[in-house]
Structure 1
Amino acid sequence: MRKFGLFGLLLAGLALLAITLTLKGWVGTGPLDAPVNVRIAEGATLTSAARTLKDAGVITSAPRFIRLAQLLGRHRPVMAGEYRIPKGASPREVLRIIQAGKSVIRLITIPEGMPSIMVHERLMANAELTGTIPVPVEGSILPDSYSYDKGEARKAVLQRMQDAMRRTLATLWDDRASGIAVKSPREAIILASIVEKETGKPSERRMVAGVYSNRLKTGMRLQADPTVIYPITKGKPLGRRILRSELRADNGYNTYARAGLPQGPIANPGRDSIAAVLDPEDTKALYFVADGTGGHVFADTLAGHNANVANWYALRRKRGEM
């Protein structure tokens, strides 16, 4: 009896040791000495995922990981995606990551008012995307942040940007105010691109849109400096003052040279600028000039505008800018 009791204690001790080692192997520190990204393929099973994890150095043994996952893990399917596995992640933590489906999010951001030539440069400069694309049609892209997968085609990412613009423009056009100056969605994009370039203050967008709408309705020239710059740089910063000869150039874009809208957009306007053009401020203002604080001061009459311009020049001289 005594021998049997000692044997039983030995078995119990061995069982406890096995359990301890098993738990340690499940919740203990993993082999990664630095974070790593791992892609789990579409349709992957626990077995194929384990092989991927082993090849990436995330786990030390695929069969052991599978056994422990089946014994101690949550019985959920693994999810396809790219995952960021932290340094020293335990097998339990790794399984939870690939079951949760919270894959790595990659974003490419197109700021409001970015011209298409710079959108093209940004997409082509992203080394995680593949393939080539032409410079997109100006005004066809909705500025926003877009997610993408590593290795995805640039063409597919660009298509999402353009689809987003089509959907947004259609929705906003359907909700447009009555009596607005623009007669079509394309005209809305053209005028919105000017509004986008003329003010960096969100609170001014509807007012600037109101001024330009008033000018269009009365046949006045828009006289928007960004329309002079666009044919020269395709929307990139000019980096110098506009030349007198450039103000006179009649090239289809220059709104100093002729009345009406330019022949096309001069940038990719954001949602708020499009919305402003389709529901502009109800104002009598026909003029505006910088106020020295990043915004503008507006005037209904030329006399009022000239006074505002004089104040602006006086401020610039005081600052040593003139």
Structure 2
Amino acid sequence: MWRALASNMLTLLVVGMFLLGGLILWGQSQYKAEGPLETAICLQVKSGSNMTGVSRQLEDQGAISSATIFRMAADYTDKAQQLKAGSFLIPEGASMAEIIDEITRSGASTCGTEIEYRIGVTRTQIRVRELDPATLEFVEIASFVVGEEDAPEIYQEKRNNPDTRYRVSVAEGVTSWQVVEGLKAVDALTGEVAELPPEGMLAPDSYEISPGDDRTALLQQMQDKQQARIAQVWETRQEGLPIETPEEMLILASIIEKETGIPEERGQVASVFINRLRKGMKLQTDPTVIYGVTKGQGVLGRGLRRSELRRATPWNTYLIDGLPPTPIANPGLASLRAAVAPDETDYVFFVADGTGGHAFAETLQEHNRNVAKWREIEAERSGSGN
């Protein structure tokens, strides 16, 4: 009898072990398998949350098939205590393993709200955006111009959200003074700027920041990036160019940046100035004259006066030979590249053509015809009130 009972118990134990092993294998397969989520979601993990609550949240949102397996897996992999607070993008079909990795890895939010401070040539704008998990694109929910409009309530609401991310975007062609003034409006930053960075030495780009970051440290990051770009682009320069140093390249690139906002024109504009330098012609470019008037501090806001075109300044390229002594703005990477790899043309003139672009010419006669057309367009616009 005892022998039979022992045999039966042994059989049950073996069967139980097989069942347990099968259950573990099934659980492992569920843990690594593609999840049931049909559309990406933004999972918000509040401060003080635990893995039990998050697993239920994920199950309720249809992101996982079993909260129990999710919790057990988190415990088994020693990640249950590594849960981070934040907003996390959970992609369509994400496995439990991928989700656990996402919410325990770094704590950096990957979705939710972003506040962007856009420093432009004429204004600084603040935009509040939300990431749409379905399209993986940010959707603007509010915006306002610093100094011109009051901040909407939602801006302050999102500023107080610990999951909100912050970004400073610097437009191509802004001056160093404009960047510093724009950073003063970034209330997520701290610290005073004691010294204005050299003109041209701040890289236009988008920079992710954190509340409490120092303004001077961010400016140094911009300078480091611009210095790296200058060194990189200078190594790719064409042979025989009439610019001899990276500093001259930077000056020329800043002029190209201010002369055209059309990407495909940069090479042509660069060719005009390169050809003029080769021929010993004065550059005669209005943006340099404007810089001599404003010193980069603000926007002129009107056309140049004849007296200003005749006024002697180090930047008046109607009077000086060659390049001005400093850049007149912070050029982007594309303008730096155009300065050392201009299009091969015989153009030495260009003028606005009324479409936002320019008409280029090889001879003064052709240029005068283009100027006459532009004057007609200006007169028509003035007469129609445009």
TM-score (norm 2): 0.61
Alignment of 1:1-322 (within 5 A): 53-54=47-48, 58=49, 71=72, 73=74, 75=77, 83-84=86-87, 98-101=103-106, 103-104=108-109, 105-133=165-193, 134-235=195-296, 236-320=298-382
CA apart distance, 1:135: 2.0
Could you tell me how far apart the structure 2 residues matched to 1:225 and 1:169 are? 25
CA apart distance, 1:81: 8.2
Could you tell me how far apart the structure 1 residues matched to 2:375 and 2:207 are? 42
Could you tell me how far apart the structure 2 residues matched to 1:286 and 1:277 are? 15
Could you tell me how far apart the structure 1 residues matched to 2:248 and 2:83 are? 43
Could you tell me how far apart the structure 1 residues matched to 2:211 and 2:225 are? 21
| Larger strand share, 1 or 2 | 2
Which residue identity lines up with residue 255 of structure 1 in the other structure? T
CA apart distance, 1:220: 1.0
How many aligned positions are there?
A: 262
Decide whether the 8 Å contact of 1:193 with 1:265 is kept in 2: yes
Decide whether the 8 Å contact of 2:51 with 2:71 is kept in 1: no
Could you tell me how far apart the structure 2 residues matched to 1:203 and 1:300 are? 19
Decide whether the 8 Å contact of 1:117 with 1:234 is kept in 2: no
Of structures 1 and 2, the one scoring higher in RCO (CA 8 A, sep 6+) is 1
Which residue identity lines up with residue 74 of structure 2 in the other structure? G
Decide whether the 8 Å contact of 1:228 with 1:253 is kept in 2: yes
Decide whether the 8 Å contact of 1:210 with 1:281 is kept in 2: yes
CA apart distance, 1:243: 1.3
Q: 1:169 to 1:222 in 2, by over 3 A?
A: same
Could you tell me how far apart the structure 1 residues matched to 2:44 and 2:256 are? 44
- Residue aligned with 1:320, SS: helix
1:6 paired residue number: none
1:3 paired residue number: none
Which residue identity lines up with residue 220 of structure 1 in the other structure? M
CA apart distance, 1:205: 0.2
- With 121-130 and 184-193 compared, the bigger mean Cα shift is at 121-130
1:65 paired residue number: none
Q: 1:101 to 1:203 in 2, by over 3 A?
A: same
Decide whether the 8 Å contact of 2:189 with 2:215 is kept in 1: yes
**Percent sequence identity over aligned pairs:** 42
| Larger helix share, 1 or 2 | 1
Q: 1:127 to 1:37 in 2, by over 3 A?
A: farther
